[in-house]
Amino acid sequence: MNVLIVGAASALGKAIVEEIGDAHQLRLMDIVPVDPPDKGEYIVGSSLNQDDCWKAVRGMDAAILTGEPPIEVPQDELERDQSLLDHATRGTHNLCKAAVEAGVKNIIYGGTLDIFRSYPDDVYISELWKPQPEPDMPVMSRYLGELTCREFARDYMVTVTGLRLGKVVNEEEVSDTHPDLLWLDIRDAAQAFCLALQRDTAEQVWWTQRWGLYHICADLGNPKYLINQARSLGYKPKHAFSNNWAT
Amino acid sequence: MKKVLLLGASGLIAPHIIPGLETHYYLKLADVKPHPEGVPVLSVDVTDYSQVLEAARGVDIIMNWTVLRHDDTLSFQVNTQGAFHVMKAAAELGIKKVLHTGPSLVLGYYEHDFDIPDAPVTPSTDYYFISKYLSNEIVKSYARAYKIHTLCYLFQGLRARPENPLVGRDFPPFTIIYDDLVHAVRLALELESVPDYFQHFNLHSHLGQGKYSMDKAKRILGYVPQRPYTDLYKRTS
């Protein structure tokens, strides 16, 4: 399968490339050059540029939009928020529109579970719960990106998968810190993206089947964020932060 | 008299409702382009946060009638980024009421149905609809976080009140008559509180077809069309 990875220079993008390995032919897209794997190539471009999007999606079977912020965001808070918003809305729309028009049949978007942070910790959060994003642009913009992708599943015969990721960390690097119910090891996040490539509902007549939504988090003994839906994809997280929760 | 910043004062909608509002409110008219009838407006580009912030200083309420349709870049910049700027300015200045606006987001999906209640929105990927839909989500988030009583009016067309009966014609769905929109805006500006700080309302002027319900607008705002326009669309015998 020919797979485009957008946001490939991010840590998450690199982890996805590592996870996919040689299983697929990759095209990596970011605003800076990225080292491609042996069976791959890269394209320097921005989702805000429609020509770049067109070049990126051409010949692809699937597009992974990591949802990660651009590698370079402005220092000024307002300019940063404007940039995040623009990339998550217009940029995501540009990519999805180019993708469906180029015949891409599978789009995967990396959203965030942070949209449920306002709920108390004594509830179980599944995909059935109403998102309540706070006006914190790094979180809210990812939610808006997810909503943008969802509309493409409604309008086009394309498989679209929203992966709402927990707080992406590296288990070894947080071994000495207080645990967080949102934690998700970056390698498990990458696993979820790879599994989502196998979803194939593009020919389903009901848009609700073309759209799939999965909560991706660590497999904790007493979780707040349930991952039962993701298990149906084959998701088996390997990093449970056991040492953190044991103390 | 309440001070109201009206963004989009020179657009396709606001010039038709300003005359009905200006005797009741101190209107601070603003737009990026001149008013079609030469009414003085403050030059404000909603895509520029500093301009929105300055325009909003000293007002009690912001009304956002700005819109740009079907352009791949400007629709997002005006409709989505602009809404972010409006709500950020309201939060920063402690403004406690906002009237936001947009197109009907149920029209396309339910156009063959009847007795349609306040159904979940179905925006589609069209630049106009999706950029406005995303703006509603931003507005909702700010409204709830900063306790800004925010109403969002959704309709699809606007027209003058017919002066005479219209023969052989029907009323287009989700169209609102100028007078009804003025009335609805006044209800919004006077409403003391908005349940959960954000509510959107389907608005139009014609209930005769039995399609789109306005029960919520009636229940919360007390909005009903000001006169039975069905009378003007009756077949003559």
Question: Quick check: B72 contacting A, CB < 8 Å?
Answer: yes
Question: Quick check: A101 contacting B, CB < 8 Å?
Answer: no
pLDDT tens per residue, range A89-118: 999 999 999 999 999 999 999 999 999 999
State the DSSP string of chain B: --EEEEETTTSSSHHHHHHHHTTTSEEEEEESS--TT----EE--TT-HHHHHHHHTT-SEEEE-----S-TTHIIIIIIIHHHHHHHHHHHHT--EEEEEE--SSTTTTTT-SSB-SPPP---S-HHHHHHHHHHHHHHHHHHHHT-EEEEEE-SEEEPPPSSPPTT--PPTTEEEHHHHHHHHHHHHH-S--GGGEEEEE--S--TTS-B--HHIIIII----SS-GGGGGPPP-
Question: Quick check: A173 contacting B, CB < 8 Å?
Answer: no
Q: Does residue B86 register a pLDDT over 80?
A: yes
**Residue A159 burial (CB count, 10 A):** 25
pLDDT tens per residue, range B28-40: 999 999 999 999 9
Q: Which of A9-13, B176-180, B227-231 has the lowest mean pLDDT?
A: B227-231
Cα–Cα–Cα angle for A230, A91, B100, nearest 5°? Answer: 95
Q: In chain B, what are the domain boundaries?
A: 3-233
Q: Among A82-86, B119-123, B163-167, which range has the highest average pLDDT?
A: A82-86
* Residue whose token pair is 């349940």: B195
- Alpha-carbon distance of A80 to A241, in angstroms, equals 32
Question: Quick check: A144 contacting B, CB < 8 Å?
Answer: yes
Cβ <8 Å between A135 and B142: yes
B72 contacts on A by Cβ (under 8 Å)? 50, 90, 93-94
Q: Does residue B230 register a pLDDT over 80?
A: no
Distance from CA of B154 to the nearest CA of A (A): 19
Considering only CB atoms, B122 lies closest to which of A90, A152, A154, namely: A154
Cβ <8 Å between B123 and A89: no
Considering only CB atoms, A90 lies closest to which of B76, B124, B142, namely: B76
Distance of CA A123 to the CA centre of its chain: 24
Q: Which amino acid is at B36?
A: P
Q: What is the pLDDT of residue B209?
A: 83
Question: Quick check: A84 contacting B, CB < 8 Å?
Answer: no
- Alpha-carbon distance of A151 to A121, in angstroms, equals 31
Q: If you average pLDDT over residues B105-110, what whole number do you get?
A: 84
Considering only CB atoms, A97 lies closest to which of B81, B125, B144, namely: B125
- Alpha-carbon distance of A230 to A86, in angstroms, equals 29
Distance from CA of B80 to the nearest CA of A (A): 8
Question: Quick check: B146 contacting A, CB < 8 Å?
Answer: yes
Give the percent of chain A with pLDDT over 70.
100
Judge: domain B3-233, CATH 3.40.50.620.
no
- Residue of B25, B16, B8, B61 lying closest to B179 (CA atoms): B16
Question: Quick check: B87 contacting A, CB < 8 Å?
Answer: yes
Q: Enumerate domains of chain A plus CATH numbers.
A: 2-246 (3.40.50.720)
Cβ <8 Å between B141 and A152: no
A to B CB pairs, distance under 8 Å: 69
A132 contacts on B by Cβ (under 8 Å)? 144
Q: If you average pLDDT over residues A45-64, what whole number do you get?
A: 98
Q: Does residue A60 register a pLDDT over 90?
A: yes
Pairing of strands B3-7, B61-64: parallel
Q: Which of A80, A151, A158, A206 to mutate to test the interface with B (most CBs of B within 10 A)?
A: A151
A50 contacts on B by Cβ (under 8 Å)? 72
A96 contacts on B by Cβ (under 8 Å)? 125
Paired residues of A43 in beta bridges: A29
pLDDT tens per residue, range B193-224: 999 999 999 999 987 788 889 999 999 999 99
Question: Quick check: B139 contacting A, CB < 8 Å?
Answer: no
- Alpha-carbon distance of B32 to B42, in angstroms, equals 8
